[in-house]
Amino acid sequence: MGIYLANGVAEDAVSNHLLGPLPDTLRMRSHTTESGETVFVAEDEGDRGSKGPFYVAYGTAAREDKYGWFCSHCESVDNAMDAMGRIQCNRCGNFRKPTEWDAAHE
Ligand SMILES: [Zn+2]
């Protein structure tokens, strides 16, 4: 399986992989953004948010071209991560606190 180290967040994904290895495509589902782009949501890669998990979204089903985060609560990719690793959904306010890994890395 391909472990893709891109913009930092992917290292979170690596540890999730080690905890529960799954075929790369098994837990992917496609999602069409408001601007009409198709992204692929890795439902085994993510982190808990205040209202529901955030999942990692990729530009391809092969987990390449990392797109950002997918909010499972309102099913959108309209969110932002700050330098501390916090993720806030712009739509529903779902919020992820920074992880230890992010704090150590940023
Ligand atoms: Zn949301």
What is the Å distance from ligand 1's center to 68 Cα? 13
| Residue 6, pLDDT score | 47
Taking a 5 Å cut-off on Cβ, the residues next to ion ligand 1 are: 71, 73-74, 89, 91-92, 94
Cα 5 to Cα 1, 14, 70: the distances in Å are 13, 8, 18
Domain residue extents for the chain: 3-101
Residue 53: band (very low, low, confident or very high) from pLDDT cuts 50, 70, 90: very high
| Residue 100, pLDDT score | 59
What is the Å distance from ligand 1's center to 29 Cα? 17
**Rounded Cα gap, residues 7 and 73, in angstroms:** 24
Do the beta carbons of residue 32 and residue 38 sit within 8 Å?
A: yes
Do the beta carbons of residue 68 and residue 55 sit within 8 Å?
A: no
